[in-house]
Amino acid sequence: MRLAESAGLVEALGCELEFIRPENVRKPTPGYLLSGGLLDRLEADVKGHDCSIVIIDAALTPIQQRNLENRLGVKVIDRTGLILEIFGLRARTKEGRLQVELARLLYERSRLVRTWTHLERQRGGRGFLGGPGETQLEADKRMIDRAVGRLRRDLADVQRTRRVQRAGRRRRETPILALVGYTNAGKSTLFNRLTGADVMAKDMPFATLDTTIRKLELPNLGDASLIDTVGFISDLPTHLVDSFRATLEEALEADLLVHVRDRSSDADEEQKQGVMKVLFQLSDLAGVDLPPIIEVWNKIDLVSSEVREGLEAERARLADDIIAMPVSSITGEGIDFLLAQIEGVLDQGRARICARLTSKDGALRAWLHENTQVESETFDDIGNAELHSSGTRVEVGRLATKFPHAADQFSRIEDVQ
C-alpha cells in the first residue's frame, strides 16, 4: 500500500518512475542505511535504468544521504525531502510559499546540526572527513537562523491579516466547518460540491496546499463557512507540521471537523490512523481540544456492492456518538444526508449559562438576548442582574471569544441535550 502512495508522490513531483520496490532492511547501517547486497542491487538497477534520482521512502541521516549519492552517482532524497519538494512545487499563495520555505530551512538546519555533532565526535579522532570546520558550520547555522527569523516575521504578518478575517467571521457568528483528511481523499471535490467553488481537485497527492474558505448554505441553519485544508499523510515531517501549524490550527478552531476518508482505498484504515495522529499532535501543540468530528466515507461510487454492505454493517456497529456517512462527492450520493447530519451536530448539545451583569454590561446583555434563549432575568435594587439562558454549545462557546474580559461573570450550569 505504501508503495502505491510512494509512487503517487514521485509522480506528483513530475518525475517518471522507472522502478519501485520494497526492501526489507533488517539491520540499517549507519553509513548507507542499506547493507551490502541491497546496495549492490540498487546500484546496478540505477545504472541499468539510467535513473537521475533515487528516492528512499524513509528517513536518511545526512551522512547516509551523502554516502549514497557518492556511491550511486545520482541525487538521493528521503521521504521528508520528497514531500518538501512537492510542497515547493505546489505552494501558490504567499503564505503557502513562506510556510514551505520555512519548513525547508528547518529541515536543513536539523541536518546541519546532526552533521556538526557527527564532525565534533570525529574531532581529535581520525578526522578523516576533512570538510568544513566547526566555524563554517556555525556560520551556516547562524545564517539559517537569521533567515528563519525573517520568514517567521513575514509569516506572522500574513497570518495577522488572516486572523482579522477570521475574527470577522466569528463576529458574524456563522458556524465554521473544516474538511480534513488524508491527501487525495476527496476533500476539495466535496468542498466544490458543497460550496459550488472551483478549487483544484486532482488525482495526485497534495493537490491542495492553501486553505480556502467559502460560504456554505445549510438547509435550515443558513450560512456557515467551510474550510478546505492541506491533506495529511502518514509520517508527515515534523517541520511541515510546524510550518503549516497556523493554517492547520485554523481548522482546529472550527465548530466541526469533517473527516473525509477514501473508503475505496485499501489503505483507508491506516490513513485514518495517520490523520488522527496528526490531529492529536496539533491539538497538543495548540493546547486546545479537538472540535467534534464526523466522518465522510467518500468515493462510495467506487466500491462493489459487497464492500458497500460491509460498510453499512460497520456503520450499524458504530457507537452512538460516532457519525459516519457514505457519500460520493462525484455523483452527489449521500450529500443531502450529510448536510442534515452536519446540522444535527451543530444544533445538538445546548448549554445553560448563568450570567451576573452590572449596568455597564449593556452590550453583553443585548448579545445574550439576541443570541441565546433567555429563561429568566432578575434585578436587584442597584440594577445588577442575574440572567439565566441557554444556547447551543457553539453559541455559548462564542461568548468567550466575543467578550473575553467577561469570563468571570459567567458560569456554565449544565450541558443539556
Ligand X SMILES: Nc1nc2c(ncn2[C@@H]2O[C@H](COP(=O)(O)OP(=O)(O)OP(=O)(O)O)[C@@H](O)[C@H]2O)c(=O)[nH]1
Contact characters 222-241, ligand X, x per CB under 6 A: ---------x----------
Q: How near is the Cβ of 299 to ligand X at its closest, in Å?
A: 4
Options 79, 299, 350, 352; binder of ligand X; rule CB under 6 A = 299
Q: What contacts 257, CB < 8 A, 6 or more positions away? A: 177, 178, 180, 251, 279, 290, 291, 292, 293, 294
Q: How near is the Cβ of 83 to ligand X at its closest, in Å?
A: 12
Angle between helices 393-402 and 362-371 (to 10 degrees): 160
CA–CA dist 75, 53 (Å, integer): 5
Quick check: 205 binds ligand X (CB under 6 A)? yes
Q: How near is the Cβ of 24 to ligand X at its closest, in Å?
A: 30
What are the CA-CA distances from residue 365 to residues 5, 147, 336, 391, 413 (Å)?
55, 49, 37, 14, 18
Options 15, 53, 147, 330; binder of ligand X; rule CB under 6 A = 330
CB-based closest residue to Mg ion? 208
Quick check: 207 binds Mg ion (CB under 5 A)? yes
Q: With beta carbons less than 8 A apart as the criterion, state whether 109 and 145 touch.
A: yes
Quick check: 328 binds Mg ion (CB under 5 A)? no
Residue type, 236: L
Q: How near is the Cβ of 333 to ligand X at its closest, in Å?
A: 8
Residue type, 157: D
CA 351 to chain centre: 29
**Residue placing its CB nearer to ligand X in the complex, 75 or 308:** 308
**Residue placing its CB nearer to Mg ion in the complex, 199 or 221:** 199
**Residue placing its CB nearer to Mg ion in the complex, 6 or 183:** 183
Quick check: 298 binds ligand X (CB under 6 A)? yes
Q: How near is the Cβ of 326 to ligand X at its closest, in Å?
A: 10
Residue 274's binding partner, choosing from Mg ion, ligand X, none, with beta-carbon cut-off 5 to 8 A by kind?
none
For Mg ion, the binding residues in 186-205 under the rule CB under 5 A are 187-188
∠399-403-404 over CA atoms, to 5°? 105
**Residue placing its CB nearer to Mg ion in the complex, 64 or 329:** 329
Q: How many residues bind Mg ion (CB under 5 A)?
A: 4
Quick check: 229 binds Mg ion (CB under 5 A)? no
What are the CA-CA distances from residue 379 to residues 370, 399, 411 (Å)?
19, 22, 17
Quick check: 207 binds ligand X (CB under 6 A)? yes
C-alpha cell at 101: 520555505
Residue 329's binding partner, choosing from Mg ion, ligand X, none, with beta-carbon cut-off 5 to 8 A by kind?
ligand X
Options 9, 72, 185, 357; binder of ligand X; rule CB under 6 A = 185
CB-based closest residue to ligand X? 231
CA neighbor of 343 nearest in space, from 185, 174, 169: 174
Quick check: 291 binds ligand X (CB under 6 A)? no
Element (H, E) at 46: helix 36-48
Q: Please, is 324 exposed, middle or buried when counting C-beta atoms within 10 Å of its C-beta (0-12, 13-18, 19+)?
A: middle
The phi, psi pair for 72, rounded to 5°, reads: -90, -15
The residues binding ligand X (CB under 6 A) are 181, 183-189, 201-203, 205-208, 231, 298-299, 301-302, 328-330
The residues that touch Mg ion, with contacts defined as CB under 5 A, are: 187-188, 207-208
